[in-house]
């Protein structure tokens, strides 16, 4: 039995993932794109699932994203996802598009479903054609029982990640148990407005497409779009939510009495996955959380938070356990948001370091000791309104340079 933590009406299953909701299976295998590690994975629903997606804002969208968006647009449903790691199939021209369609067609044939019901995703090195002989052979074998294992799926989607990222929750809607599960990959090239990140969320809820899409878009702006590792936005980022309706609840819409509960569950899954991605930043040793309160708008709070979490000077100071509050204040100052310095308050963990335009006295050794923790919190009080936002990131270390200096080799 999985360990659970109850939070009001949402039960969090920390070991749960994309196969917790009814009707979903997943698996993965090594097909030969990468040297040794698993590199081809899948998710399949028993029935076509209402699907919503959000995608990278990078103008160079990879071939799989174009194919997947076109497929979902046909009837707002997919039934399966095929994903490879080790090769992004990005900046690969017409051949890249043809290869993505070939992956889609091949997996649809294995499942006996229409081609447009298969989503295709890829992650890895940019600018290289997929080894389609290996991918095609893998797709023909991947549904074999030996590869049917959600742990295999979660391993197959990773690139420079050091760990799998998963979470699931359960809620009650119309007296029915509704599950929401998620798995993600992402470690470097992570920045607000999506990054080299793939997120897969499944649910057995019965939900209208327009409302699912609106919820995902809103939640993404509060979660996946509030993390950063290195300021780079990739070509392949995508988050998909598949809802197959097998829980048997009345169709969820914004007018359903349990709508807020469902949306809270979806947000919790998204936020936990986003935080796990930020914590696993390439070479990172710490998760950094920035809470911005008292902004005149939610957008202003988000901008300030992202400015701080994106600052390389803030990130390196945290890595070096240097309580250099000046770097935090500077990042607030160039965020593009008009703030009033004499109203500003900044704290590092429980230690107030700046208030009303002036530094606060603090014991350097105590703050340095706090900065050695695995999770570091920065609190900013703007005192200009009632809106707030939270952003997540990581420290910037020597290992980040080492990992990315030899990424292709």
- Active site members: 196
The number of residues in the chain equals 409
Q: Which of 271, 215, 272, 268 is nearest to 243 (CA)?
A: 215
Q: Which three-class secondary structure state does DSSP give residue 129?
A: coil
Q: Which two tokens stand for residue 358?
A: 């002036």
Angle at which helices 259-279 and 209-222 cross, to 10°: 40
Would strands 287-295 and 375-381 be described as parallel, antiparallel, or unpaired? parallel
Bridge partners of residue 41, in order along the sequence: 28, 83
What order do you get walking across the sheet with 287-295 strand by strand?
Answer: 358-359, 351-355, 345-348, 375-381, 287-295, 387-394
Q: Which three-class secondary structure state does DSSP give residue 21?
A: coil
What is d(CA 354, CA 356) in angstroms, rounded to the nearest whole number?
7
Would strands 238-243 and 10-13 be described as parallel, antiparallel, or unpaired? unpaired
What is d(CA 60, CA 189) in angstroms, rounded to the nearest whole number?
14
Contacts of 296 (CB under 8 A, 6+ apart): 382, 384, 385, 387
What is d(CA 95, CA 81) in angstroms, rounded to the nearest whole number?
21
227 by Cβ neighbours in 10 Å (0-12 / 13-18 / 19+) ranks as buried
What is d(CA 26, CA 82) in angstroms, rounded to the nearest whole number?
10
What is d(CA 296, CA 383) in angstroms, rounded to the nearest whole number?
8
333 by Cβ neighbours in 10 Å (0-12 / 13-18 / 19+) ranks as middle
What is d(CA 342, CA 354) in angstroms, rounded to the nearest whole number?
10
């Amino acid at each position: 039995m999985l360990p659970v933590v109850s939070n009001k009406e949402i039960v969090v299953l920390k070991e749960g993932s994309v196969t917790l909701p009814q009707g979903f299976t997943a698996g993965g295998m090594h097909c030969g794109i990468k040297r040794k590690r698993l590199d081809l994975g899948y998710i399949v629903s028993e029935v076509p699932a209402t699907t919503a997606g959000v995608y990278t804002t990078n103008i160079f969208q990879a071939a799989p994203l174009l194919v997947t968006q076109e497929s979902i647009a046909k009837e707002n449903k997919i039934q399966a996802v095929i994903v490879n790691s080790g090769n992004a199939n990005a900046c690969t021209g017409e051949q890249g598009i043809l290869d993505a369609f070939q992956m889609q067609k091949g997996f649809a044939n294995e499942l006996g479903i229409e081609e447009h019901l298969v989503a295709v995703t890829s992650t890895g090195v940019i600018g290289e054609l997929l080894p389609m002989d290996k991918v095609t052979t893998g797709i023909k074998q991947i549904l074999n029982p030996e590869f049917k294992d959600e742990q295999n799926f979660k391993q197959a989607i990773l690139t420079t990640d050091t760990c799998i990222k998963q979470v699931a929750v359960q809620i009650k809607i119309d007296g029915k148990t509704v599950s929401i599960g998620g798995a993600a990959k992402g470690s470097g090239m992570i920045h607000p407005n999506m990054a080299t990140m793939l997120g897969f969320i499944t649910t057995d809820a019965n939900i209208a497409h327009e409302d699912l899409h609106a919820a995902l878009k809103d939640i993404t702006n509060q979660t996946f779009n509030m993390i950063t590792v290195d300021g780079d936005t990739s070509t392949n980022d995508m988050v998909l939510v598949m809802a197959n309706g097998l829980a048997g609840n009345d169709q969820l819409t914004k007018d359903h009495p349990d709508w807020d509960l469902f949306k809270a569950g979806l947000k919790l899954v998204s936020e936990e996955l986003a935080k796990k991605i930020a914590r696993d930043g390439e070479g990172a040793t710490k998760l950094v959380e920035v809470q911005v309160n008292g902004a005149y708008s939610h957008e202003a709070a988000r901008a300030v938070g992202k400015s701080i979490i994106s600052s390389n000077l803030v990130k390196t100071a945290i890595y070096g356990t240097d309580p250099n509050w000046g770097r935090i204040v500077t990042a607030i100052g160039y965020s593009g948001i008009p703030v009033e310095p004499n109203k500003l308050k900044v704290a590092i963990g429980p230690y107030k370091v700046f208030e009303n335009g002036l530094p606060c006295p603090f014991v350097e050794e105590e703050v340095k000791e706090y900065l050695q923790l695995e999770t570091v919190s920065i609190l900013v009080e703007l005192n200009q309104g009632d809106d707030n936002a939270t952003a997540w990131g990581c420290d910037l270390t020597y290992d980040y340079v080492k990992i990315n200096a030899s990424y292709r080799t």
